Amino acid sequence: MYNAANAATNENQTMSETIDKGRRQLLTAATTLTGAVGVAFAAVPFLASWKPSARAKALGAPVEIDISKLDPGAMLKIEWRGKPVWVVRRTPEMIDRLGAAEPFLADPGSERSRQPEYARNPSRAVNPEYLVVLGVCTHLGCAPMSRFEPGDAELTTASPGDWPGGFYCPCHGSKFDLSGRVFRGVPAPTNLEVPPYTFADSGHIIIGQDQGSAA
């Protein structure tokens, strides 16, 4: 016998199941779409992180510089960790004058100064032709000036006209030779600091990466 009440109940159950199924399908689709969008947005900063930002460089990420066009006797200035870095391409004459300054230096062997072990030598460099130092006086942090010309009448070491060339800090008179080694009798206590660096090739230097370490 046909029962109208039962028929209505069955019909309501069928409609409810259809609606629930539709809701589940919609929810699944929405979740999948949201997940896909989330993955897409998450991938952007992840991929971007492979390239150091300007902020990352300032905080210490290695910086590669092109020295292929740096003329002999010239100096290149860049920034690393918020500090100036100087790269000087020394001429053979400049390298020869390093020995003449040693009797007047406070730390000629760089025993009390900061530099990587591979720069603890008279030229304070991996390659004697290229000096790499922080352009910050070790006294109070002023910026020394390049005074590369020997015999500068305004600067002396022991007697007038004997200046071998180097750096001069105008703030308090500290003097450094062409390897950044500090002269005796000046306020600066140590040599100019040599940062970690390595040669990527003959025309490029990476500041902030030690010689022989992996990139």
Q: How many domains does the chain have?
A: 2
The domain that holds 173 is classified in CATH as 2.102.10.10
pLDDT of residue 100: 87
Say if residues 135 and 79 touch (Cβ distance below 8 Å).
Answer: no
13-17, 30-34, 132-136 — most confident range:
132-136
H helical segments located in 97-172: 98-101
Number of Cβ atoms within 10 Å of the Cβ of 202: 8
Q: Which residues are catalytic?
A: 172
- Mean pLDDT throughout 27-37? 46
Residue 143 in this model has a pLDDT that exceeds 80: yes
pLDDT of residue 160: 78
Q: Is the dihedral of CA 214, 53, 132, 69 positive or negative?
A: positive
* Residue 98 and residue 15 share a domain: no
* Residue 194 and residue 136 share a domain: yes
Does a structural domain hold residue 214? no
How far apart are alpha carbons 180 and 186 in whole angstroms?
A: 14
- The pLDDT tens digits for 194-207 are 999 999 999 999 99
Residue 86 in this model has a pLDDT that exceeds 70: yes
* Residue 193 and residue 89 share a domain: yes
Helix (H) or strand (E) holding 158: none
Residue 34 in this model has a pLDDT that exceeds 50: no
* Residue 70 and residue 46 share a domain: no
Angle at 106 between CA 100 and CA 110, to 5 degrees: 90
Residue 25 in this model has a pLDDT that exceeds 90: no
* Residue 65 and residue 15 share a domain: no
Residue 101 in this model has a pLDDT that exceeds 50: yes
* Residue 151 and residue 59 share a domain: yes
Say if residues 147 and 133 touch (Cβ distance below 8 Å).
Answer: no
* Structure-model confidence comparison of residues 2 and 151, the more confident one: 151
* Residue 132 and residue 26 share a domain: no
* Structure-model confidence comparison of residues 13 and 46, the more confident one: 13
Does a structural domain hold residue 215? no
Q: What is the mean pLDDT of the chain?
A: 80
pLDDT of residue 202: 93
Does a structural domain hold residue 212? no
pLDDT-based confidence at 192, cuts 50/70/90? very high
* Residue 164 and residue 135 share a domain: yes
- Mean pLDDT throughout 145-158? 89
Hey, what's the torsion of the CAs at 64, 182, 99, 159, to 10 degrees?
A: 140
Does a structural domain hold residue 213? no
- Mean pLDDT throughout 152-175? 89
**Host domain of residue 86:** 54-207
* Residue 74 and residue 35 share a domain: no
pLDDT of residue 96: 94
